[in-house]
Amino acid sequence: MQSKIKYRKKRTPKIAKQASDSLKIIPLGGLEEIGRNMTLFEYQDQIFIIDMGLQFPDEDMPGIDFIIPNIEYLLRHPEKKLLGIIITHAHYDHIGAIPYLIDKLNYPPIYTAPLSRGIILKRQEDFPDLKKLNIQEINAGQNITLGPFKIVPFHLNHNIPDTLGLAINSPAGLIIYATDFKFDLQPIADKPADLSRIIDLASPGVTLLLADSTGAENPGHSISEKTIMDNLDPVFREAQGRIILSTFASLISRIQQAIWLSEKYNRKVIIEGYAMKTNIAIAEKLKYLSIKKETIVNWQEANRLEPNKLTVLCTGAQGEPEAVLMKIVNREHKYLRIQKNDVVIFSSSVVPGNELAVQNLKDNLAKQGAKIYHYKMLDIHASGHGYQEDLKTMINLVKPKFFMPIHGHYSMLKTHGELAESVGISTKNIVTATNGQIIELGKNKIIATQKFVPTNYVMVDGLGVGDVKEVVLRARQTLAKDGIFIIVALVDRKTGLLHNDPQIISQGFVYMKESRDLINQTKKLIKEIVSSSTRGQTFNEGYIRNNLRNKIGLFLFKKTQRRPMILPIVIEI
């Protein structure tokens, strides 16, 4: 599955030599967007990386599987020493690009917590052509030395265990890196963040805090997982039929809640979905999940149970076409059909862009007789990202001199900066950066330079990595929007005229049986264009094709106000 990354050429600004105490911070992704998280920390040509994630494509990127960070800056500077990669947690927007970039970087060591290590290694099995990863396991409180950087991980709450913040002792001073986090005093399958530990780590004085901004536009505190547990309890208690709970495969705390509630109300559990089965197996092996031996059953055992004695945990709450929940609703699942009294729980928020797919899924489930619960009806999903009061708490605990919001769309970063200002950080000490922007940090200064490194999208499409360029994407967008109009013209070289009527194929443009007048007019125009293009018995295939493409395109636009892709095929006979 390995292929070379090809990058679109882009102007690389000249980078001035940094001062001896100046540290460069370069976000290659994660700013102005959700996902693709990857940040470089560079001091005197020594670099370490935090996270290496992917981003899911927008609706206007047909055929694209996902987007990964652009590492052109690293590849163009082989003289720089890459010390290692630190992974803060095992969500794909923080680990998903590893298989696509690690060999280009010559397999540097990866440092991460046990659960993240297990998930990364399991995913790497899908890439058998790659070399074995060098992953060194770390835990909160363990010191790591990478060149001039002394790094101490600390525990944070998120919606996956083993999430690590980082206290980075650098030549530019102490940096606190607060990855995706929230403060949860009553988490499930996790322990609360140790606030006293954060205060202790920050006590020497923090030069810079970088902190997650995803929840910056939400007032108050994020919901505790204990609240979710309390709200799910009556649903499990009162359900008369099977419970089908769909959530993210990585949401270990929610999976634990469903298992505990199933055990409490004497339900057996079926696990459906490859990613969910994999993550549960890893989490259970590492003792991040507690499951009684008799709780998990197979379908042969499940089919002997009364409906009110079975819980199905599955993926598909985002309406993904190939996920388990969609297969159930489409009656494609081998064992499961929706029955009266079935309860379907959507225990996740809707990822932007998936609203219509999720609504259609809920409609179809309701038509088949299911009772549906989702987060807008009841607090049965909690964000893993801190809201405004959580973010202000982090700033007050750390008391940094400088502040840089990370992880989020630009409006989220801007709002987070305003929150920092509201709790006493001076406006001139707050940097709201963009992807690729080089931030220079010293003990008493922070400069958002106007120097940038390339961060344009590298798109993954099947086995292709970086081979889908903007021109290809634009062609796909045109096809998706206005379709394709194919003209097949057989031209007699001797006469310069069409040998017979041109053939026309329309896909995604007009329905030909109901557009006969338009098609007949187009055929007539094709004859005229070919005849005028071959006057004097000159025959130039490329010239004929260009004339057909331009003039037929203009004609169809005048008639329909649409611009299909025109594909002329000229054959000499």
Span 288-322, pLDDT tens digits: 999 999 999 999 999 999 999 999 999 888 877 77
Q: 37: Cβ–Cβ under 8 A, 6 or more apart, which residues?
A: 29, 30, 50, 51, 52, 53, 93, 94, 407
pTM confidence score: 0.79
- Least confident among 169-183, 184-198, 498-512: 498-512
Q: Place 20 in a pLDDT band, splitting at 50, 70 and 90.
A: low
Residue 5 has pLDDT above 60, yes or no: no
**pLDDT in the model for residue 15:** 40
CATH of domain 225-374: 3.40.50.10710
Residue 240 has pLDDT above 80, yes or no: yes
CATH 3.40.50.10710 boundaries in the chain: 225-374
3-state secondary structure at position 197: helix
**pLDDT in the model for residue 11:** 42
Average pLDDT for the chain: 87
Q: Strands 437-442, 445-452: parallel, antiparallel or unpaired by DSSP?
A: antiparallel
Mean pLDDT, to the nearest integer, of 437-446? 95
Residue 555, judged by CB atoms within 10 A of its CB (0-12, 13-18, 19+), counts as middle
177 φ/ψ angles, rounded to the nearest 5 degrees: -110, 105
> What is the distance between the alpha carbons of residues 212 and 405, in angstroms, rounded to a whole number?
6
CATH 3.10.20.580 boundaries in the chain: 483-572
**pLDDT in the model for residue 72:** 94
> What is the distance between the alpha carbons of residues 254 and 249, in angstroms, rounded to a whole number?
10
Q: Which residue has the higher pLDDT, 3 or 391?
A: 391
**pLDDT in the model for residue 304:** 92
In the set 94, 385, 407, 416, the catalytic residue is: 385
Residue 91 has pLDDT above 50, yes or no: yes
* Cα torsion angle, 117, 119, 125, 130, sign: negative
Domain covering 483-572: architecture: Roll (3.10)
Is 385 noted as a catalytic residue in this protein? yes
Q: Place 374 in a pLDDT band, splitting at 50, 70 and 90.
A: confident
CATH 3.60.15.10 boundaries in the chain: 23-220+383-465
Is 407 noted as a catalytic residue in this protein? no
Spatial contact of 31 and 435, defined as CB atoms under 8 Å apart: yes
> What is the distance between the alpha carbons of residues 219 and 129, in angstroms, rounded to a whole number?
47
Residue 510 has pLDDT above 80, yes or no: no
Neighbours of 389 (CB within 10 A): 14
23-220+383-465, CATH topology level:
Metallo-beta-lactamase; Chain A (3.60.15)
In the set 212, 342, 390, 482, the catalytic residue is: 212
Nearest to residue 233, comparing CAs of 255, 256, 265?
265
